[in-house]
Amino acid sequence: MKRGALDSFFKPTVPKKPKYETSEEKDEHPSYPFAIPHLSKSFMTQLNSAPAAEGKTMNSELDLDMVYYAPYIPSSVSNGMFEFLRQELFFQRVRYSIKRDGVSTEINTPRFTTVFGVDETSKFNTDGVLVDAKTTRKLEAGRYKCTPRPIPQCLGYLKALTEATTGETFNFCLVNYYADGQDSISYHSDDERFLGEKPAIASFTLGAKRDFLMKHKPIAPDLKGEVVPEPKQIKLALGSGDMVLMRGQTQAKWLHSVPKRAGDEAKKGRINITFRKAMVKGGTENYYQYNVGTGGVFKWSAREGKMVS
């Protein structure tokens, strides 16, 4: 064995220093596998100038109602936020089975996911205990099949800024981590009934640039049997710090996806954060089932440069 190789073999593995500062304060909760630090004062001050660019309204296509901020998060802090969230949050790689034409199929979610929040019928009190939203009484055991988690300060801060900008309110935060260009999300719409009619969803990108594709759902011929032309597909190349607000009929009438990609950006990770508002208990159960599941927890290892379980 060469000298250098021997040295590195015996050298203790010192974890790499994070590329961002955190506050001394941390959020701890029985539902968290480990504590999550608060954002540093410097990050909060920089975030306070969001939106970094004016939102562009996109509503000239049929049934489309969106606002696109490029970027929303100031560029001075977007990479730090990406590094912070990738390092400090816990993720899952969810597997579940669905029935297609009566045949059970295993689905491996092609990205890492995590989720925080609870629907409008419940809330966390100041001690982090889940209570009924109306009576403020502690929830009876078994109200939820899952274990809801409070939104940590680092995401709650961004949620509050987003609410102030958009005039919407949110009670859920879903986070996706796309490790590379092979991770993706296929065409879907967030049109579940538990989000209510015309849901508003704010969706953030941090890290790698990825294409966000949108297409109108198939349009049935009108009452006279005439074919209504479908609007053309939309492609937004979302960069770090960008935010799209989807609202109105967008979820009811359009589908969106983040397809696999190749090239240099495909070698980098990307975080997507969505803020949403679930109205009923079924929303909480759905979000925890598909974003937490029953498998092990993953955490970013700066030394290995990947999520490790």
Ligand X SMILES: O=C(O)CCC(=O)C(=O)O
Cβ–Cβ under 8 Å, residues 46 and 74: yes
256 is in an annotated binding site: yes
Q: Which is nearer to ligand X, 158 or 258 (CB)?
A: 258
Integer-rounded Cα radius of gyration of the chain: 21
193 is in an annotated binding site: no
Q: Which of 258, 278, 292, 307 binds ligand X (CB under 6 A)?
A: 258
# residues near ligand X by CB under 6 A: 10
72 binds ligand X (CB under 6 A): no
The three-state (H, E, C) secondary structure of 162-201, written as one string: HHHHHCCCCCEEEEEEECCCCCCEEEECCCCHHHCCCCCE
270 is in an annotated binding site: yes
Q: Which is nearer to ligand X, 212 or 254 (CB)?
A: 212
Q: Give residues 175-214 in contact with ligand X (rule: CB under 6 A).
A: 176, 185, 190, 203, 212
Residue 88 CA to residue 109 CA, distance in Å, equals 21
105 is in an annotated binding site: no
256 binds ligand X (CB under 6 A): yes
**DSSP single-letter state for residue 46:** H
303 is in an annotated binding site: no
Residue 157 CA to residue 273 CA, distance in Å, equals 13
SS3 helix, strand, coil % of the chain, rounded to 5? Answer: 20, 30, 45
The three-state (H, E, C) secondary structure of 224-262, written as one string: CCCCCCCCCCEEEEECCCCEEEECCCHHHHEEEEECCCC
274 binds ligand X (CB under 6 A): yes
Q: Which is nearer to ligand X, 50 or 271 (CB)?
A: 271
Cβ–Cβ under 8 Å, residues 68 and 58: yes
Q: Which is nearer to ligand X, 123 or 170 (CB)?
A: 170
- Known binding-site residues equal 176, 178, 188, 191, 256, 270, 274, 276
- Known binding-site residues for 2-oxoglutarate equal 176, 178, 188, 256, 270, 274, 276
- Known binding-site residues for substrate equal 191
| Site residues for ligand X per CB under 6 A | 174, 176, 185, 190, 203, 212, 256, 258, 272, 274
